[in-house]
Structure 1
Amino acid sequence: MQTNQTQQIQVTVDRSLVAETNAIFEQLGLSQSAAITLFLKKVAATGRMPFDVALTERQKATLNLQAAIAQANRPVNDLETPAGYQRWEEDVHDDY
């Protein structure tokens, strides 16, 4: 006879998200534990997330803005000397 061993997991989740999803689970007749188990079984069966995981357009825009700010804060190379000009010419990240 095979015994089904279980393991308890603990996650930290925003309280409002827990309340919102528990209300949905209740309407579906599921406990929080059953819903999480369903999710894990789907991942195990398919070998992937059961939904697309991607950045939103706003998240992508935020990352692009952060990269632009970081680029703008970089020190300007000294282009008045031959050595400074050479460093600028060889730096593929300088686009000014």
Structure 2
Amino acid sequence: MSESSTIKVQANVNKEVVKRVNTVLKSIGQSPTSIINSLYHAIDNTGKVPFEIGLTPGQKASIDLQQLTASQPVKIIHNAEEFEKIWEDEDKDED
């Protein structure tokens, strides 16, 4: 492959992750360039990323909860009596 047929691809990666991964790559005789080339070729050949990318169930649940609570009215509690009143109302709703 001639130098004119390549392009430089840059990415920002956490320094500590780079150090750990470079140690692994060196131990298996690979470089960041060879791994990125392999990844790009795999995507080119298959039309997809060769591993699953997505949220964990916990991350998904957290986002769902944030979205549900975002539309709820905010009640400011000024004292312990107001706090107790809220819980009394909740208990009545369960009956």
- The TM tier, using the shorter chain, reads 0.5 to 0.7
Aligned residue pairs, count: 73
CA separation of 1:64/1:41 partners in 2, compared to 1, >3 Å: closer, same or farther? same
1:13 deviation in Å?
Answer: 1.0
1:12 corresponds in structure 2 to 12
1:3 deviation in Å?
Answer: 4.2
Letter in 2 for 1:54: G
Is 1:40 aligned to residue 40 of structure 2? yes
The share of aligned pairs that are identical, in percent, is 27
Letter in 1 for 2:7: Q
Is 1:25 aligned to residue 50 of structure 2? no
- Which structure: greater helix fraction? 2
Provide the TM-score with structure 2 as the length reference.
0.68
What 5-or-longer segments of structure 1 have no aligned partner?
Answer: 75-96
Query: Equivalents in 1 of 2:73, 2:31: separation in Å?
Result: 50
SS in 1 for 2:24: helix
Letter in 1 for 2:24: I
1:68 corresponds in structure 2 to 68
